[in-house]
């Protein structure tokens, strides 16, 4: 009989070591190694309840038949957009997010959507009664959805094989375990083995599986990194718990574009998709205020306008303060250094505070021009001219570079009634521009104040 084989795994990155280590050589974290059994005595491994999965055979490329790639409508326009038009049959989708952000609500809304799909909702965190209470609050009337509170993988696979659903929702992968391993649910080996088994079943039977995953304190998907490599799609559910708006962002997608976003509004009756994010990200004031600028951003193929707020005041202490909400602080410090060097603004004497409306986190370099515009407006205490927005990236030498998808940003600004948009002068000429909006090109950041304050 074979001996029990054990190994040590890093809980943070999944690195395997034959002995315990104080510091992980892969991710550098301390005290993250835990001992797990990876092979038991021969003859002690239980059989999988569903029986062996269908075996695949090698085929020539010319003999492989292409299907029509008919995507499954999940009954949610925002989720369908992020997935690239719907869920591909036989795909494995992973959704991660902070606790309480709305992952379970979103997954239950997808399971209960009246879209003609036979759905099995597997919950390892809630009882059937709790799910029923949440379903009644959401108010989506698909009474045919199957609810199955279970954590043992063998039983879950057996029920999937018996009922043959079109879509399986698992909440969450950290609560599922298999009898093939002796480690506890949520460990590195359990997550890896359960995800691999679900992937093999999905690919061999064409069943689409939607998985909810936890995240660590630093915001990454909990479990081994191989979990993100195994699945076909990785979605990140973001948002401020103090704000009602949520963003579903595509990080990895084998069947569509990455970095696509879907915007939701958290209400008492669940999550509601927001068709026009620009309306919620723009604030209307009775009179112009300084320190406020509008930037034209784009995530994936979706353009939207967002309001940037900046406050520049005299530094009360020797070291000026720098604070940002929803924006990279290092990027802001770089832009402030450019203003000091190229425009002559004495930023080393000023405290600077930056905020993006709606609690959104943005990383679009095309918003550099809007950030600088808000800082300049607050520095001189002069409001930006009405109906003006910005779209451009700023380099270290002060040059203004074209933002990605500038033409779409211009069209979005024109649709919302803006009269002028400031862009890079290096933007390629030509193309059909929308009517009713003036495109103001600038080549360097020192030309921005004149473009901002000219009526």
Q: Residues within the annotated binding site for ATP?
A: 97-104
Q: Are 14 and 221 in contact (CB under 8 A)?
A: no
Side-chain-side CA neighbours of residue 382 (13 Å): 12
Q: What is the DSSP string of 125-159?
A: SS-HHHHHHHHHHHT---TT-EEEE--BHHHHHHH
Within 8 A by CB and 6+ apart from 447, the residues are none
Q: What is the C-alpha to C-alpha distance for residues 394 and 402, in angstroms, rounded to an integer? A: 9
What b/e readout covers 350-380, taking b as 16+ CB neighbours within 10 angstroms?
A: bbbbbbbbbbbebebbbbbbbbbbbbbbbbe
Nearest of 96, 124, 118 to residue 233 by alpha carbon? 96
Q: What is the C-alpha to C-alpha distance for residues 292 and 368, in angstroms, rounded to an integer? A: 14
Q: CA 377 → CA 309, 311, 382, 451, distances in Å?
A: 10, 9, 5, 12
Nearest of 389, 304, 390, 315 to residue 347 by alpha carbon? 315
Side-chain-side CA neighbours of residue 58 (13 Å): 1
Q: What is the C-alpha to C-alpha distance for residues 326 and 323, in angstroms, rounded to an integer? A: 10
Residue with tokens 């002995």: 19
Q: What is the C-alpha to C-alpha distance for residues 185 and 47, in angstroms, rounded to an integer? A: 19
Q: Are 10 and 188 in contact (CB under 8 A)?
A: yes
Between strands 92-97 and 233-238, the pairing is parallel
In Å, how far from its chain's centre is CA 273? 15
Structure tokens given for 421: 């948009």
Within 8 A by CB and 6+ apart from 32, the residues are 10, 11, 12, 24
Query: Dihedrals φ, ψ of 48, to 5°?
Result: -70, 135
Q: Binding site membership: which residues? A: 97-104
Structure tokens given for 341: 């060097």
Nearest of 439, 430, 422 to residue 371 by alpha carbon? 422
Between strands 270-273 and 292-299, the pairing is unpaired
Q: Are 108 and 130 in contact (CB under 8 A)?
A: no
Between strands 393-394 and 400-401, the pairing is antiparallel
């Amino acid at each position: 009989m074979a001996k029990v084989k054990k190994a040590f795994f890093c809980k943070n990155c999944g690195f395997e070591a034959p002995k315990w280590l104080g510091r992980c050589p892969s991710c550098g974290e301390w005290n993250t190694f835990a001992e797990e059994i990876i092979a038991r005595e021969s003859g002690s491994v239980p059989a999988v309840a569903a029986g062996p999965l269908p075996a695949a055979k090698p085929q020539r490329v010319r003999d492989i038949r292409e299907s029509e790639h008919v995507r499954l409508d999940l009954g949610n326009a925002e989720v369908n957009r992020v997935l690239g038009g719907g869920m591909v049959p036989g795909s494995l989708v992973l959704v991660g997010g902070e606790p309480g952000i709305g992952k379970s609500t979103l997954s239950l809304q997808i399971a209960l959507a009246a879209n003609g799909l036979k759905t099995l909702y597997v919950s390892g965190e809630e009882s059937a009664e709790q799910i029923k209470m949440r379903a009644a609050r959401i108010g989506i009337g698909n009474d045919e959805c199957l609810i199955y509170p279970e954590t043992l993988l063998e039983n879950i696979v057996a029920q999937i094989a018996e009922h043959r659903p079109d879509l399986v929702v698992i909440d969450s992968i950290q609560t599922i375990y298999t009898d093939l391993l002796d480690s506890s649910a949520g460990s590195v080996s359990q997550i890896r083995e359960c995800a691999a088994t679900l992937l093999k079943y999905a690919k061999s039977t064409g069943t689409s599986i939607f998985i909810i995953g936890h995240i660590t304190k630093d915001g990454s998907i909990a479990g081994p990194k191989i979990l993100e490599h195994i699945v076909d799609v990785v979605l990140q559910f973001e948002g401020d718990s103090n704000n009602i708006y949520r963003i579903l962002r595509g990080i990895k997608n084998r069947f569509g574009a990455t970095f696509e976003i879907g915007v939701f509004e958290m209400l008492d009756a669940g999550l509601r998709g927001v068709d026009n994010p620009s309306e919620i990200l723009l604030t209307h004031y009775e009179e112009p205020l300084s320190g406020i600028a509008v930037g034209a951003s784009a995530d994936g193929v979706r353009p939207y306008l967002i309001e940037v707020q900046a406050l520049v005041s005299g530094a009360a202490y020797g070291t000026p303060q720098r604070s940002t909400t929803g924006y990279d602080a290092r990027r802001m410090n770089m832009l402030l250094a450019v203003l000091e060097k190229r425009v002559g603004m004495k930023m080393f004497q000023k405290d600077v505070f930056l905020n993006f409306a709606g609690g959104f986190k943005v990383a679009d370099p095309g918003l550099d021009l809007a950030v600088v515009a808000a800082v300049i407006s607050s520095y001189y205490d002069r409001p930006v001219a009405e109906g003006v927005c910005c779209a451009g990236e700023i380099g270290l030498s002060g040059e203004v570079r074209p933002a990605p998808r500038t033409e779409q940003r211009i069209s979005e600004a024109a649709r919302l009634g803006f009269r002028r948009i400031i862009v890079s002068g290096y933007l390629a000429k030509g193309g059909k521009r929308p009517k009713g909006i003036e495109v103001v090109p600038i080549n360097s950041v020192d030309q921005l104040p004149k473009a901002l304050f000219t009526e």
